[in-house]
Structure 1
Amino acid sequence: MTAVVFDLDGTLVDSEPNYYEAGRRVLAAYGVTGFDWERHTDFIGIGTREMLQALKAEYGIDAPLEELLAGKNRHYLELARAATEVFPEMRLLVERLHADGVPMAVASGSSRAAIEAVLAGTGLSGYFRVLVSAEEVPHGKPEPDVFLEAARRLGADPAECVVVEDAPPGAEAAHAAGMRCVAVPYVPATADAPAFRLTGLLFPGGQSTFRASEAYDFVLGRAGAWG
């Protein structure tokens, strides 16, 4: 049984601006200035917990990690509920796969609350049988835990799953899980990352070059499947 596991942030939806702003706000509350978009992009594809652990050490923040996580999630949920954009070709792909009865999951480094809020706000909730947050598994990406858990909940063999990802850590996690991968780099400059060389289908120009029809054909394993 073919199944598809989507990353959420930067893949299905353009949530990175909201995550950046949420991170900037929570760091500013602890006296950290100078956290810019370029620094934020270093953490794209990394779970929120792992990101804040690194920044806590980098900036010498004394506050407990759980406090930072709660603050960032609070800011992010406020921003996400106000506005989150779905990438149009991704919506087309999700709708077509759903219409054809292909089981789908979302596996993300975001919190469960954030995943649910974004999917509800964008009208995507009804398309996914399974949601897995990095909070629910021992290790976040680039470890394969979230993808393997998604496959387990879907009742699918990992070898029959296709991951759709935007970041090198996610592509590395998909490879470690033994899953095929469609890579759509959120940051096109990362398109030559070693992890993306392991993917079955790469759109090096990112979302501007992504085509639902090509991804659909790859998922089903045959050219012209889109019809």
Structure 2
Amino acid sequence: MSILGSTSVIFDLDGTLVDSEPNYYEASRRTLAEHGVTGFSWADHERYVGISTRETVVSWTERYGLDAPVEAVLADKNRHYLELARAGTHVYPEMRKFVELLAAAAVPMAVASGSSREAIEVILKGTGLDARLRTVVSADEVDRGKPAPDVFLEAARRLGAAPADCVVVEDAAPGAVAAHAAGMRCVAIPYVAAQADDPAFATAGLLVRGGQEEFEAGDAYDWIVASR
């Protein structure tokens, strides 16, 4: 039994537990270049932070007028991303510490991400986080991706937790919206610190405005204890 009672914690993956956005950007740049779109910049990439891979590709087909089917472009992007992810993905040190603090308190945890299940499992295994985070939900396993609450609600179901007892840890505005829609508390650590004033983050119970550079595991743990 957890010392935090019925509390469960659900983590987003990309940009929250790990700094995988550089890999996603490079995978996107390579994929679009293969389909005739050049000049894809980091600023272009930032508009897709927090959105599922499939929804990103669907947006590309409309924005860039891609001729290839969505499934083909999606397969290309996943192939490039997995190559990059296997080569190395950086875990935020304070996030690893946070996971260990929660594990020591026997708090049930899950990962709920817009990435494919294969990508999630590759990262968790490669970083060793799979030893602590065994419950995984991909956006491919639910009807709607973030900002819909489906992925978080499914994670809560698999943990056997009531939504009101769950805390979501997120880096992106769509994830914060999804957490609020799911009726869950939220710790928000904006990946793009300049977006901290986005109204979506106003619903977060704890907003770390400076992003990962300011996040401290002990402070987040103490907030969860105090907000029960």
TM-score bracket, normalised by the shorter chain, equals over 0.9
Q: Distance in 1 between matches of 2:117 and 2:86?
A: 14
TM-superposed deviation, 1:220: 2.0
> Where in structure 2 are the equivalents of 1:20-169 lying within 5 Å?
20-169=25-174
The CA distance in 1 between the partners of 2:147 and 2:99, in whole Å, is: 24
Q: Distance in 1 between matches of 2:114 and 2:22?
A: 16
Per-residue CA deviation, residues 155-188 of structure 1 (Å, 9 max, x unaligned), is 0000000000000000000000000000000000
CA distance in 2, matches of 1:137, 1:172: 17
- Whole-Å Cα distance in 2 between the matches of residues 11 and 24 of structure 1? 22
Q: CA deviation at 1:141?
A: 0.2
1:178 to 171, 180, 183: 183
| Code of the aligned partner of 2:175 | G
Give RMSD over aligned pairs: 1.0
CA distances 1:109-140 after superposition (whole Å, capped 9, x unpaired):
00000000000000100111310000000000
The equivalent of 2:202 in structure 1 is 197
TM-score of the superposed pair, with normalisation by structure 1: 0.97
Q: Does 1:8 align with 2:13?
A: yes
Counterpart of 1:13 in structure 2: which amino acid? V
| Residue type at the aligned position of 2:202 | R
Amino acid at match of 2:75: A
TM-score, structure 2 as length reference: 0.96
Q: Structure 1 stretches (4+) deviating beyond 4 angstroms?
A: none
Provide the C-alpha distance between the structure 2 equivalents of 1:222 and 1:116, rounded to a whole number of angstroms: 31
Alpha-carbon distance in 2 for matches of 1:154, 1:39: 36
Measure how far apart 1:218 and its partner are: 1.6
Q: CA–CA distance in 1 between the matches of 2:81 and 2:134?
A: 24
- How far apart, in 2, do the equivalents of 1:70 and 1:30 lie? 13
Q: Which amino acid aligns with 2:13?
A: L
How far is the alpha carbon of 1:87 from its aligned partner?
0.3
Give 5+ residue unaligned stretches, structure 1.
none
Whichever residue aligns with residue 61 of structure 1, its letter is: L
Deviation at 1:219, TM superposition (A): 1.8
The percentage of aligned residue pairs carrying the same residue is: 66
For 2:164 and 2:217, how far apart are their aligned partners in 1? Answer: 22
Match of 2:3 in 1: none
Q: Judge conservation of contact 1:2–1:220 (CA < 8 Å) in 2.
A: no
Q: Which residue of 2 is the match for residue 214 of structure 1?
A: 219
Secondary structure at the aligned position of 2:18 is classed as coil
**Separation in 2 of the partners of 1:155 and 1:174?**
17
Shift of 1:67: 0.6
Contiguous gaps of at least 5 residues in structure 2: 1-5
Output the CA distance in 2 between the equivalents of 1:85 and 1:212. 17
